[in-house]
Amino acid sequence: MAAGIQSLSEQQIALFRKEGRGAGEGADYVPGQAQRDMSGIGRLRRFACARCGGRQIVLASDVELSVFLDEYWDPCTRDLHEYMPLIDVAKTVQLAGILGAGHPELSDGSPAMLMTSLMVCKRRAGSYKWEAIDVVSSPDAQREPSDENRIKGEYWKRLGVAHRVVHSRGLNSPRARHLWFLFNVAELIVNRGLSQEQRLAQRAVLERLRLRQGVTLLAVCHAAADARGIPRSACVAAMHELIALRIVECSLDVPVLLSQKRQDSRVRLSFERLKNRKVPS
């Protein structure tokens, strides 16, 4: 390449550094892949996330969304950074040579910048640690790890960061669909709080949960509503809110969330404690 003319790789690195991609925490994090980079990809998923400081998240596929939701659901998760760029391209090229792996290239033959799908900050045993996750579609589960993921795995290993590759079916499982629904329920509560009517419906559901066994969660909702003279839909919504807030625990692997039996669920918090509890973010 002629002197003074930057390669596409050099231009990419300069742009990422100028825009601060991969830097920042919480609401200030700037992902490595901007929405304008996703044109022509297909259906995008855009949403705000309180746990990420309220910033807008844009994901390019349901495959990535389902993994994001699984990590969000983990009570140990404190922050999530999607599309983390590995800006030290010289390092990833060096690691490719050590591993005997092919390094992705741009159209001019210069090395492409690698990007990890998701970084997750976990709080365990009183300390915070980041984990790196790369997402691949489930049909690729039987294949050997790609050269790109091998390079990324070695990159994070040398930084002392746990790295794993997750195979995802997108929203094609009951669990993933329930997580997406519950995520939106929880975010709405975080942003708007709970009305007095919602709290009363939750109280009715919690009281009925203590009394009823051998029936479905939906039947509990209907019984709670009928006993209090409030709409059944209000108590169904209340049950979803209690599950989204992790006050009621139940399986997410059933086709219909409220079709499972009461005895297969667990109440983690009484309504008396709920009244004084801050809504989690």
Q: Which residues on neighbouring strands pair with residue 59, listed in sequence order?
A: 45
Average pLDDT, the chain: 92
Reported as half-sphere exposure (CB side, CA atoms, 13 A), residue 48 has a value of: 13
pLDDT band at 191 (very low <50, low <70, confident <90, very high): very high
Phi and psi at residue 128, to the nearest 5°: -105, 135
Summarize the confidence of residues 183-208 as an average pLDDT.
96
- In tens, the pLDDT along 210-260 reads 887 789 999 999 999 999 999 999 999 999 999 999 999 999 999 999 999
Considering only CA atoms, which of 119, 205, 199, 208 is closest in space to residue 162? Answer: 119
Helix axes 147-158, 89-99, angle to 10 degrees: 110
**Domain covering 8-168: architecture:** 3-Layer(aba) Sandwich (3.40)
Q: Are β-strands 248-249 and 266-267 bridged in parallel, bridged antiparallel, or unpaired?
A: antiparallel
Q: Taking the domain 174-274, which CATH number applies?
A: 1.10.10
Q: Which helix (H) or strand (E) holds 202?
A: helix 196-211
Considering only CA atoms, which of 99, 96, 115 is closest in space to residue 22? Answer: 115
Summarize the confidence of residues 72-80 as an average pLDDT.
96
**Per-residue burial over 42-51, b = 16 or more CB atoms within 10 Å of its CB, e = otherwise:** eeeeeeebbb
Per DSSP, 93 falls in state H
pLDDT band at 275 (very low <50, low <70, confident <90, very high): low
103 and 151 Cβ atoms separated by less than 8 Å: yes
Summarize the confidence of residues 80-90 as an average pLDDT.
98
The residue extents of the domains of the chain are 8-168, 174-274
Distance CA 45, CA 61 (A): 7
